[in-house]
Structure 1
C-alpha cells in the first residue's frame, strides 16, 4: 500500500533506556522473533528497564515537527511506543490510547487530535522528513482511487474533510529494522543505552 511518510534514517526516534545495564544488550538483541521489536521492548521492561524519549535522530525532522507544533516530537514518540508495544496501527485509536495512558501534554484529546490532523496534512502537502520545511504546501490536495475504481478528491479548500480522511485512514507501519538501523539496544561510550524506533505511515 502507498506510504504517506516514507521510512528512512531521517524518521528514527531515539529513546534512552534507563534501569538496565549494558550486560543485557546481547540478551535483548538476540531476540529474533517475527515481532522482534515488540518482544525486545517487552524484554527490556521485564528486566526492569524503561524507555524515555530522547530526541528525533535528525535535527531536520525535529525542526519540521516543531514547526507544526512544539509538542509533536514527544507526542509522535509516545505514539510510536504505543504502536510498537501494542501494535495499535490506526492513528485515531493510537492517539486515544496514548491520551488515556496519561500522556495528555496538559491539554485534551480534541486538541491533540487537531495537532495530529495538522501534521498529517503537512506531510501530505509539503513536509519532508529529510528537508528543512518552510511551512508552505507544495500541493493542493489528494485524489484517492478506491478499490472499486471510484475517484474521490480532497482539496485544501476543504481542509476539514482532508484532515478527517487522513486521520481515519492513515496507519503506522513497520519498516525494515536492518535497512533503517533501529529496534536494538545501543551502548554509547558515556555509558548510556539507547533504543531507536522508526516512523513510517501508510494508507
Structure 2
C-alpha cells in the first residue's frame, strides 16, 4: 500500500489536475491567477521503475511507453480522481496516509509511486505550448503545496552557517552564562539565540561577519553576486536580533541601514535585486553543499497547489512574477542549533566567534 504525506500526495493531485484541466494558469506575487494567461498542456512525462511514460493530451489521455500507445483514459476520469484526492488530502489529519481508491487508479495508468523518478528539484515534467513563441518546450517544475505545512526553499545545515567574529574579549564566566541561555517553547527548552545575540551586544561587543562555514556555499553565493555573502550575513544577523522574519521586511531593514554602503542616491534597489536573484537560484537548483554552475534543475519554475485546489504556475519566462512571488512569500526561521552546531561563543586562535544559521521557508 502506498502512503505519503500531504505534500507527496499533492504531486499525484497535480498530475491528475493538469491532465483534467489541460492547461496551466499563471500566478502573481499574491498567489492569485493572472487572468487571461494560460499555457495549454500537451504532454506530461514521468519515469517509473526506469521506464519512461508519456501522458499525451488529445480527446483522451493517451499513455505512451517506448514510443507505443499503451492505453487510453477518459479526461473526465482524471477530473473526478483529482477532485476526490483533493478532498482526501484536505480532510486527513495523519502525518502520512494511504488513499486506496486513488492507488487502484494509479496502478491502472502505470503510475506506481508518489514521486516521479528524479534526483533534481524537478517534481513534474510538462510539455506546454508557448503561444508567444509558438514553441513546445519541455519544462521541469518543482511542486509546492499549500495543502500541508509550508515547505522549505533552503534547508538548514552546517553548510548554511555564517561565522561572525566577536569584536573583543568577553569574560569566561560571562561566556558560560551566555552559552547557557535557554528559552521555553511549549514544554521544551531550546537555545535562546536572540537572547545570546543581545547579551553579546550588552557586553559592548559587535558581531562582525567573518565567513560562511563552508567554502562551497560561499563560492556559490559569490558566483551569483560577489557581495552576496556579506548581504546574507546582514540579513541573518537582522533576523536573530529583531522580531522580523519575512524576507521582504528583513531586506527593507537592510536597505534602510545600507551596511554595504551602496550608492543609493538614485534609489537603486541593490539589496532587493540581489536577494531576488539568490532566491531564484536556490528555488531552481542551487544547493549549499554542491558546486553551483548556474544551470537550473527546475527549468520551468514552480507549481503552487493552493488550498482550494487551484494550481498556479510561476514560470521562469515570467521572471518578474516568479521573483516577486519568492520575495513576498518566504521567511527566515530558526533551525536546531544543536543539530547544526551554531549559537554558542567559541574561541579559535585567541579570537571569539559566534555562528548563526540560515534557513528559508515559505510563509504559506
**Equivalent in the alignment of 1:92:** 248
3-state SS of the aligned residue for 2:232? Answer: helix
| Counterpart in the other structure of 1:43 | 199
Cross-structure match for 1:102: 258
Q: Is the 8 A contact 1:22 1:193 kept in 2?
A: no
Shift of 1:49: 1.1
Please name the residue that 1:145 is paired with: 305
Is the Cα contact below 8 Å between 2:216 and 2:291 reproduced in 1? yes
Does the alignment pair 1:27 with 2:187? Answer: no
Partner residue, 2:335:
175
Say whether the 8 Å CA contact 1:65–1:72 is kept in structure 2. Answer: yes
**More relative contact order in 1 or in 2 (CA 8 Å, sep 6+)?**
1
Query: Is the radius of gyration larger for structure 1 or structure 2?
Result: 2
**Structure number with higher helix proportion:** 1
Cα shift at 1:104? 4.3
Deviation at 1:57, TM superposition (A): 0.6
Q: TM-score under structure 1 normalisation?
A: 0.95
Q: Give me the whole-angstrom Cα distance separating, in 1, the residues matched to 2:234 and 2:252.
A: 11
Give secondary structure in 2 for the equivalent of 1:86.
Answer: coil
Structure 1 residues not aligned, in runs of 5+: none
1:138 alignment partner, SS class: coil
For the residues of structure 2 that align with 1:72 and 1:185, how far apart are their CA atoms?
Answer: 25
**Structure 1 Cα separation of the partners of residues 180 and 320 of structure 2:** 46
TM-score, normalisation: structure 2: 0.54
Q: Give the ranges of 4+ consecutive aligned residues of structure 1 lying more than 4 Å apart after TM superposition.
A: none
- Say if 2:161 is the partner of 1:12: yes
Distance in 2 separating the partners of 1:176 and 1:87: 18
Report the aligned-residue RMSD: 1.3
The aligned counterpart of 1:114 is 273
**Paired residue for 2:353?**
194
Alignment match of 2:284 (pick from 109, 118, 125): 125
Question: What secondary structure does 2:262 align onto?
Answer: coil
Name whichever of 31-40 and 136-145 sits farther off.
31-40
- Once residues 192 and 282 of structure 2 are traced to their aligned partners in structure 1, the CA distance between those partners, rounded to angstroms, is 28
Distance 1:77 1:46 in 2: 20
Task: Give the CA deviation at 1:135.
Answer: 1.1
Deviation at 1:111?
Answer: 2.2
Q: By how many angstroms is 1:94 displaced?
A: 0.3
Structure 2 Cα separation of the partners of residues 65 and 104 of structure 1: 16
Q: Is 1:71 aligned to 2:197, yes or no?
A: no
Instruction: Report the Cα distance in structure 2 between the residues aligned to 1:105 and 1:69, rounded to whole angstroms.
Output: 16
Secondary structure in 2 matching 1:154: strand
**Which 10-residue stretch deviates more, 19-28 or 178-187?**
19-28
After TM superposition, give the deviation of residue 22 of structure 1 in Å. Answer: 4.9
Alpha-carbon distance in 1 for matches of 2:167, 2:218: 23
Question: Between Structure 1 and Structure 2, how many residues are aligned?
Answer: 202
